Amino acid sequence: MVILGVDPGLNATGYGIIETRSPRLHVLTAGDIRPPRTPALPERLAFIHEALSRLISRYQAETVVLEQLFTHHAHVTTAALMAHARGVACLAAEEHRLPLAEYPPTQVKKSLTGNGAASKGQVARMLGQWLDGTDASWSADATDALALAVVHARIERQRRNLPAEMVG
């Protein structure tokens, strides 16, 4: 399976694409989509959408994984702006008829590190173990996107190994 993890943001949308066909997880690509900061919001969203659509097509992604939306009362505006980029990722998945999976940040951290409050550094270190190392060029956004993809791959692998009567 080819999984596209997306860490949406208006300034930088991280992406990480992994392949799970062998026993090991293999990174196909990871990076950031950085729209120009000067255009109006619709143009920035179109830039993110087009880039995600190209990635889905080029790497033949089979699933898109996003972080569940969360907000803190002190950062409502930031969450609303991020939700625009998240909506664009949902739209790209739907246009390509791909399933969409979502996980809360604490589940991603706990799944990789055993601690739902792990730091970004701890997540990156554990991610390196699952992926046989990391690339110094990966931003925090790309690392977060890869973490989403890895967690989804692990959950799907566990689900496939359960007896049919135990899978909901």
Known catalytic residue at 7: yes
**N-terminal to C-terminal alpha carbon distance within the chain:** 20
Give bridge partners of residue 14 from the DSSP assignment: 7, 32
Catalytic-role residue among 43, 95, 135, 141: 141
Contact 113, 124 (CB under 8 A): no
SS3 state of residue 103:
strand
Alpha-carbon gap, residue 142 to 155, rounded angstroms: 20
Catalytic residue among 32, 50, 62, 67: 67
Q: Tell me how far the alpha carbon of residue 146 is from its chain's centroid.
A: 6
Residues with a known catalytic role: 7, 67, 141
